[in-house]
Amino acid sequence: MPNSLSHQYFIQAQALIPGGVNSPVRACHNVDSEPLFIRKGEGAHLTDVDGREYIDFVLSWGPMLLGHAHPAVTAAIQEAAARGTSYGAPCADEVALAEAVTAALPSVEMVRMVNSGTEATMSALRLARAVTGRSKLVKCIGCYHGHADPFLAAAGSGLATFSIPGTPGVPDAVVADTLLAPYNDLDALEAVFAAHGEEIAALIIEPVAANMGLVLPGEGYLEGVRALCTKYGALLIFDEVITGFRAAFGGAQARFGITPDLTTFGKIIGGGLPVGAFGGKAEYMRRIAPQGDVYQAGTLSGNPLAMAAGLATLNILRTADYAALERKVRAFVAELKAILEGKGVPIQIPTLASMFCPYFSAEPVTCFADVAKADAALFTTFYKQMRAQGIYLAPSAFETGMVSFAHSDDDFQRTLDAARKVRF
Ligand code: KE4
């Protein structure tokens, strides 16, 4: 809106911050829109600087599973802040959050706190390379593991599994060790391991792919991935930055019964403050400095405010009714799908736990190639008309819709009413 405060802030921001945002997807380029500047969040709602209120299905890209400004989380942060914001020395809450994470996921015997999901995945990869003495990494096309160089690899020509840099600034040499395979394709993965198995340090995967929209693992897929890593002595890294404490309290690994060697976390474990973590078998984690010889560090790792926010969040989630939330989300998605089908558009809305993603596609979506076939123009139409009615969806067909424990039946109904009014 040209005369809105958001627009004015965006004009100012673009003169000072690349693209006017501090993370690209917030710019809303994929949906031909300008970003809204947010003044506050409360429960399932956001209010922008122009005083407009929205029902939020982005939830800061995942962290706000309890909703915005949960009183217990806010109080914990305020109490911690009154005692100082950073000590550069250990604090008791680092131990408490480590206990909470390791208790929730049996595969995580030890854990190191960092400040983002990117730090978590880059550190986990370094550890896997040290533990195995190997250099190659396997990742799936369409999965996102943060912006550290080794993960910014694009598919090379044809069916080549070798990568080319996914962005300028990443040397060819850095992604030369990154091998790619389509998600949900065990045959392709088998071929990669057959060709390079003895050189592969790790395979990193989002157990539920939530960075190309929401792509669920096919029957037996994760079991096959686990078996291949075991067969060739590669470490299996579950990137649970999104699914950790969202797919279930114990993460996707609990939901699907798969034991990875290392797990990475982010988002929810910080309760909205900057926290990432990586953890796994003690025999591996003991290699991390200063106990071991694999260097990893961070000035603000284990920050007392972030630990307090994460702890307050997990202490509530530990007894939250995830099944009830999933039932609500599935009922909402079923009605949303029926409304959109009634408008004659092709629509798939895969759902898992409190995540969902509308793909304007007639075919089920099982990998990135399927995602790329979905109708982005229809998504943009949907996004714009929903936002105009106060429904704040992820501004990209390649992101996942998120629901919180704060979303009410009225929020779902208002969202469905808005969808009924969309014109394609
Ligand atoms: P951060 O460095 O952004 O904290 O985490 C990187 C990351 C790692 N692994 C997974 C599975 C992730 O989803 C992410 C980050 N997720 C995106 C949104 N899907 C962050 C949003 C953004 O980049 O602004």
pLDDT in tens, 203-236: 999 999 999 999 999 999 999 999 999 999 999 9
Torsion over CA of 88, 303, 95 and 323, rounded to 10 degrees? -170
CA of 213 to the centre of ligand 1 (A): 13
pLDDT digits (tens, 9 = 90+) for 244-303: 999 999 999 999 999 999 999 999 999 999 999 999 999 999 999 999 999 999 999 999
Does position 106 have pLDDT exceeding 60, yes or no? Answer: yes
CA of 267 to the centre of ligand 1 (A): 8
| Atom number of ligand 1 nearest to Cα 400 | 19
CA nearest neighbour of 211 among 255, 170, 166: 166
Question: What percentage of the chain reaches a pLDDT higher than 70?
Answer: 98
- Closest C-alpha to ligand 1, atom 7: 146
Q: What pLDDT score was predicted for residue 183?
A: 97
Q: What pLDDT score was predicted for residue 290?
A: 98
First to last CA, the chain: 21
Task: Evaluate whether 264 touches 276 at the Cβ level (below 8 Å).
Answer: yes
Is 359 known to be catalytic? no
Mean pLDDT of the chain: 96
Catalytic residue, chosen from 9, 54, 144, 284, is 144
Does position 160 have pLDDT exceeding 60, yes or no? Answer: no
Beta bridge partners of 112: 278
| Atom number of ligand 1 nearest to Cα 116 | 4
The reply to whether omega before 290 is within 30° of 0 (cis) is: yes
The distance of Cα 53 from the centroid of its chain, to the nearest Å, equals: 25
Cβ–ligand 1 distance for 399 under 6 Å, the answer: yes
Cβ–ligand 1 distance for 146 under 6 Å, the answer: yes
Cβ–ligand 1 distance for 56 under 6 Å, the answer: no
- Pocket probe mutation, ligand 1, options 25, 38, 64, 144, max atoms within 8 Å of Cβ: 144
Q: How far apart are CA 6 and CA 27, in angstroms?
A: 12
Q: What pLDDT score was predicted for residue 397?
A: 87
Is 261 known to be catalytic? no
Task: Give the model's confidence band at 337: pLDDT under 50 very low, under 70 low, under 90 confident, else very high.
Answer: very high
CA nearest neighbour of 90 among 297, 285, 266, 303: 303
- Pocket probe mutation, ligand 1, options 113, 121, 211, max atoms within 8 Å of Cβ: 211
Task: Give the model's confidence band at 398: pLDDT under 50 very low, under 70 low, under 90 confident, else very high.
Answer: confident
User: Count of CB atoms within 10 A of residue 301's CB?
Assistant: 19
Sheet of 262-265, strand order = 110-114, 276-280, 262-265, 235-239, 200-205, 136-141, 178-182
pTM: 0.97
pLDDT digits (tens, 9 = 90+) for 29-73: 989 999 999 999 999 999 999 999 999 999 999 999 999 999 999
Task: Give the model's confidence band at 156: pLDDT under 50 very low, under 70 low, under 90 confident, else very high.
Answer: low
Task: Evaluate whether 189 touches 225 at the Cβ level (below 8 Å).
Answer: yes
Section 179-206 average pLDDT: 97
Q: How far apart are CA 106 and CA 414, in angstroms?
A: 40
Q: Which strand (E) or helix (H) includes residue 71?
A: helix 71-81
CA of 257 to the centre of ligand 1 (A): 24
Q: What pLDDT score was predicted for residue 264?
A: 98
CA of 146 to the centre of ligand 1 (A): 5
Does position 179 have pLDDT exceeding 70, yes or no? Answer: yes
Catalytic residue, chosen from 9, 48, 56, 267, is 267
Phi, psi of 350 (to 5 degrees): -60, 145
Q: How far apart are CA 357 and CA 328, in angstroms?
A: 15
Does position 125 have pLDDT exceeding 90, yes or no? Answer: yes
CA of 194 to the centre of ligand 1 (A): 31
Token couple for 34:
């300008």
Task: Evaluate whether 396 touches 31 at the Cβ level (below 8 Å).
Answer: yes
CA of 116 to the centre of ligand 1 (A): 8
Is 392 known to be catalytic? no
Kindly state the DSSP code that residue 234 receives in the 8-state scheme: P
In 135-242, alpha helices (H): 172-175, 186-196, 221-232
Q: What HEC string does 376-408 produce?
A: HHHHHHHHHHHHHCCEECCCCCCCCEECCCCCC
Section 170-185 average pLDDT: 95
Task: Give the model's confidence band at 379: pLDDT under 50 very low, under 70 low, under 90 confident, else very high.
Answer: very high
Phi, psi of 349 (to 5 degrees): -135, 75
Task: Give the model's confidence band at 157: pLDDT under 50 very low, under 70 low, under 90 confident, else very high.
Answer: low
